[in-house]
Chain A
Amino acid sequence: MSSKNLEKLYREKLKDLEMNPNPAVWNKIENSLITQKKSKRKVIYWCFSGATVAALFLLGLFLYQPHPKELIASKKETTEQSSKKQDSTNTVNNKNTSETNQENNNKTPTNKKTIVKNTVVATSEKKQTFSPKKKEVKQQQTQPTLASIYNSKTQTKKTEFTVVGTNEKHTPVSSIKDKKLITAISKPSITDTVLGTQKKNLEKELLAKNPLEEQHDQKDSFRNFWSIAPMISQYVYGSFSDKSTVDPRLDDAEKTGQRTTAYGFNVAYQVSKKIKIKTGIHRITMLQTTNNNALSGVIKISSFQNSSPKLIESSDSSFDQNANSLTSQIVTLNDELAKSSTQNNELEQRFGYIEIPMEANYGLYQTNQLSFYVVGGFSTLFLTENNLEIESNGFSYSEGEATNLNSINFSLNIGTDIEYHFSEKWFLNVNPTFKLQTQTFSKSSNTPYLFGISSGINFKF
């Protein structure tokens, strides 16, 4: 039995030990890798399906925009609808008339009167007709009236004129009594007067309808358009909670949200004069620094509750040397920090995302050159950058990365958008926004937000 140093014994026997693990471990690793790939695919699928839905929505809006011809048709329909309203009164009257007609079947009408009435009706049709479609409707509606006129006797004539009168709105004829009416109609001069009155009324009606036409014209002048713009934004990071996202021990430390710049581009579609839908892709970064003298007391390699160290590769080939160089760096850092404990230390947390916003603008004030919108929407953010860095008197060291950041985050966005259209094709927009982050941290209830302003030169097409 030889006396042997325990340390030496262990070093010799266990240093380069190799052991074969249970084959089940690899199966488990393989399964985990497959699940990871699947969940990655799910995220990509989710992202793409979201983008597809957005794209389809925009495309749908684009395709379903009424064609100029359809616009005319719809305009006619509107006119028809208004005339139908009038005609419905007629129909009621017609019904009454036809009932009366049936009652007075045997009695014969006066030809003269009928002719005059026909003329009146015909003239009124001519004047009233704004479009061929309307004419058709008019004819359809007036035909039974005419037919009833032929069969009606003196008593019904009043009703007939009432019909025409109602058609023309407030035609004095409606108040004319039977006898007077017969006399009046038999006299061509009075007929002229009647026609004249109707003409005036029709003109009034036309005038009254003009604003409608103008409205249509105005609508015609609006064209849906797309716009695309490279955007640059400045954001300031903030949080509703004082709690540290890195370590609860830093809850009391002073935290400052830093200003960061974001880049990207926007695509927008003007759905109607007031509504615009926007999406895009942006690269944004959030940055918060924690200032604390006590920081050095807390800092130890990967000692933060919500952090894990980033591995640093060394050029040395031996593992032990590597390990030593890595740890000596850490030791240097901690020494430095310990020395500077009375000075200002900073922990900088930086995390970046690819942001895909989906927003709707609603126009509150619009002139030819200037538009003012309120903006609401949401963004999906995909984590791309995650870094914790300690800075102390110009000495900085990467502490690793936060382990409590979700890979996907959502934000609720509200803001305003001011557009200045300086040419037919180009406009400048300035967009102050508040973005409330909802799913940033997995283990912390901390709700950060971004407040910032974006701007870009937009091209319309």
Chain B
Amino acid sequence: MNINEIIKKCQKNNSKAQATLYELYAPKLYAICYKYSKNTQEAEDNLHDGFLTIFKKINQFKHQGSFEGWMKRIMINTALEKYRKDKVFPLINEESIEEVDTLDIDDETIKLETLLNGIQNLPNRYRLVFNLYILDGYSHKEIGNMLEISEGTSKSNLSRAKVLLKKELTQSQQQNLNTFYDEF
């Protein structure tokens, strides 16, 4: 069964096709949910809500363009929706932002888990901006519109996110080294 057949069957509310679609795309979409959420529970909730939206709106998909892209957008939207009404974002002093261009870190040894934890531990809006800009390629202007913030705020949020991430990763790296030395 190719993807178009699965879509058509899903449009007819076929349970088997829905299960197949989930099996095929859940890993990719769950990764998106995980990156945009603050913890596993929230990621699972978003995956649940996102898939329900996909099945509900699958009739609106006209087989033009990438189906995967369409589903990804739904997942991102689901995640953003959670925070859209959350108007309480931490305010930061833009002057205090330091640029983080380089990071002294061993990219070979760094664990994926550390990278993910780093994102999840970021304050909500920093996490969203970081994901939208770095991982999903949205511009600051677009992010500003999506999150109802100004372009400048988006930029400063990203910088702040990077500073926090750098701290987190460096700390994690240090801990790893300490553990390594302790073993000797």
Contact = CB atoms under 8 A, between A and B. Distances in A.
Interface of A: 1-7, 9-22, 24-26, 28-30, 32-33, 36-37, 300-303, 305, 308-311, 313-320, 322-324, 326-328, 330-331, 334
A14 B115 contact: yes
Interface of B: 13, 15, 18-19, 22, 26-28, 30-31, 34-35, 40, 43-44, 47-48, 51-52, 55-57, 60-62, 64-66, 68-70, 72-74, 77, 81, 84-85, 100-108, 110, 112, 115-116, 119, 130, 134-139, 141-142, 145-146, 148, 162, 165-166, 169
Contacts of A37: 13
Given A6-B162, A37-B13, A1 B73 contact: no
Nearest to B169: A6
B70 A311 contact: yes
B141 to A, nearest CB: 6
Given A1-B105, A20-B30, A29 B48 contact: yes
Contact of B73 (A6, A326, A334): A326
- Of B43, B48, B60, most A-chain CB atoms within 10 Å: B48
Contacts of B107: 2, 4, 9, 12-13
B73 A2 contact: no
A313 B61 contact: yes
B51 A29 contact: yes
Nearest to B163: A6
Given A37-B13, A300-B148, A18 B28 contact: yes
Given A13-B112, A315-B65, A28 B48 contact: yes
A42 B68 CA distance: 33
Nearest to B33: A21
Nearest to B41: A22
A5 B103 contact: yes
- For the complex of A and B, 5 pairs with smallest distance between CB atoms: A319-B69, A18-B27, A327-B142, A21-B30, A17-B31
A279 to B, nearest CB: 30
B34 A19 contact: yes
A330 to B, nearest CB: 6
B91 to A, nearest CB: 20
A16 B66 CA distance: 16
27 contacts: A1-B105, A1-B106, A5-B102, A6-B162, A6-B165, A9-B103, A9-B105, A13-B115, A14-B116, A15-B135, A19-B30, A19-B31, A19-B34, A20-B26, A20-B30, A21-B47, A25-B30, A29-B22, A300-B146, A313-B65, A315-B65, A319-B69, A319-B72, A319-B73, A327-B138, A328-B142, A334-B145
Contacts of A22: 40, 44
Contact of A323 (B13, B18, B60, B73): B73
A319 B15 contact: no
Given A6-B165, A11-B134, A33-B55, 14 more contacts: A2-B106, A2-B107, A6-B100, A6-B166, A10-B115, A11-B135, A16-B28, A18-B30, A21-B30, A26-B26, A30-B15, A308-B77, A313-B62, A317-B69
A7 B68 CA distance: 24
Contacts of B40: 22
A247 to B, nearest CB: 12
A21 B51 CA distance: 13
Contacts of B55: 33
A252 to B, nearest CB: 20
B28 to A, nearest CB: 5
A311 B64 contact: no
Contacts of B72: 319
B144 to A, nearest CB: 8
Contacts of A20: 26-27, 30
A30 B20 CA distance: 12
A318 B148 contact: no
Contact of A311 (B31, B73, B103): B73
A460 B99 CA distance: 83
A5 B47 contact: no
B22 A323 contact: no
A328 B101 CA distance: 27
A319 B57 contact: no
A107 B102 CA distance: 142
Contact of A6 (B103, B116, B139): B103
B15 to A, nearest CB: 7
Contacts of B34: 19
Contacts of B44: 21-22, 24-25
Contacts of A330: 142, 145
B98 to A, nearest CB: 13
Contact of A317 (B35, B65, B103): B65
Contacts of A12: 107
A17 B27 CA distance: 8
A199 B15 CA distance: 88
A33 B138 CA distance: 32
Contacts of B51: 29
Nearest to B62: A313
B73 A21 contact: no
A7 B81 CA distance: 25
Given A10-B115, A311-B74, A4 B57 contact: no
Contacts of A36: 52, 56
Nearest to A325: B65
B168 to A, nearest CB: 11
Contacts of A310: 60
A317 B66 CA distance: 5
